[in-house]
């Protein structure tokens, strides 16, 4: 396994603990040459970050690639990925947040199934035993992954009834929005997974979903799985915003699609993240409150 930094630089302590976890599973772990570089807010210059990615893609001894962290900058290098190398020798790529740009590009250009999962920084506050075990199983077994609706999530009560099956795609809403008109693959026949980080308001969520709608990127979707939208209260609306909360914005934008919507999927920027295959067949069932995804490894 090779750890790389496509976005922002990690701390050495976090990566060291992540290496300890991965090696405890019997994996051999290597670090990309530029993992700890820094150039502005990014982990080295664009050419160095993509060099580490492509070196991992081309190395037959590397059987999986895991991002050290997210942040910013992955969107700057996706056009230079060696996807021919991945067609010849597929291997899972693990990460989330800004790494959504990689997930989308690799599916679009070489139909690579990837893993929306935690970064290489193991600690009990962020990852925890259950989260670590979920990553291990997603990497090292061919078991399907099933996530259950969490009533405590801000999106939990946002449901459009029904079942739907399709290839699971998506990740971070801001990243998906950024790829609109550039590297966003067709979502025809897909289940779209969406999550959102702290730090932006209802208006930004509305803008992102409206941009996707106006660009017709959401045409042909079979269903939507809503993960964590952090920083938004599950119950309360904002009196200064007409009483609207995150559920109202999401319902207003998504219900018109006429497809099943499952809210409350406990995945995103919160602690103890699960690992979810992307680019494989998935089913959402609003009656049971489940998202079930086939494995990304064989």
Active site residues: 97, 195, 269
CA gap 60, 222 in Å, rounded: 36
Those residues with Cβ within 8 angstroms of residue 25's Cβ, 6 or more apart along the chain or in another chain:
136, 140
Collapse the DSSP code of 147 into the 3-class scheme (helix H, G, I; strand E, B; otherwise coil) and give the result. strand
What Å distances lie between residue 190 and 110, 213, 225, 237, 280, CA to CA? 16, 15, 11, 31, 10
CA gap 163, 250 in Å, rounded: 19
CA gap 105, 81 in Å, rounded: 9
CA gap 117, 96 in Å, rounded: 6
Largest CA distance in the chain: 57
Could you tell me the sign of the dihedral formed by the alpha carbons of 237, 243, 249, 253, in that order?
Answer: positive
Closest CA to 204 of 156, 241, 149, 239: 241
- Contact in structure between 295 and 279 (CB atoms under 8 Å): no
């Amino acid at each position: 396994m090779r750890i790389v930094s496509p976005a922002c630089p990690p701390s050495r302590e976090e990566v060291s603990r992540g290496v300890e976890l991965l090696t405890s599973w019997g994996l051999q772990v290597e670090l990309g040459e530029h993992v700890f570089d820094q150039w502005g807010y990014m982990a080295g210059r664009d050419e160095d970050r993509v060099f580490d990615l492509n070196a991992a893609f081309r190395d037959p001894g590397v059987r999986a690639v895991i991002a050290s962290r997210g942040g910013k900058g992955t969107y700057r290098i996706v056009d230079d990925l060696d996807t021919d190398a991945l067609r010849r020798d597929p291997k899972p790529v693990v990460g989330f947040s800004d790494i959504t740009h990689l997930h989308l590009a690799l599916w679009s250009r070489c139909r690579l199934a990837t893993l929306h999962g935690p970064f290489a920084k193991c600690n009990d506050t962020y990852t925890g035993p259950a989260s670590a075990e979920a990553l291990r199983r997603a990497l090292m077994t061919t078991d399907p992954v099933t996530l259950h609706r969490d009533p405590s999530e801000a999106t939990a009560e946002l449901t459009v009834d029904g079942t739907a099956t399709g290839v699971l795609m998506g990740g971070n809403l801001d990243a998906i929005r950024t790829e609109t008109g550039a590297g966003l693959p067709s979502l025809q026949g897909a289940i779209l997974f969406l999550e959102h980080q702290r730090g932006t308001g209802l208006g930004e969520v509305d803008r992102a979903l409206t941009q996707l709608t106006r660009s017709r990127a959401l045409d042909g979707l079979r269903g939507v799985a809503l993960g964590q939208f952090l920083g938004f209260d599950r119950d309360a609306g904002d009196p200064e915003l007409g009483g609207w909360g995150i559920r109202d914005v999401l319902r207003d934008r998504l219900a018109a699609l006429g497809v099943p919507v499952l809210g409350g999927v406990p995945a995103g920027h919160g602690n103890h993240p699960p690992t979810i295959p992307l680019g494989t067949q998935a089913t959402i069932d609003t009656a049971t409150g489940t998202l079930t995804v086939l494995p990304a490894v064989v």
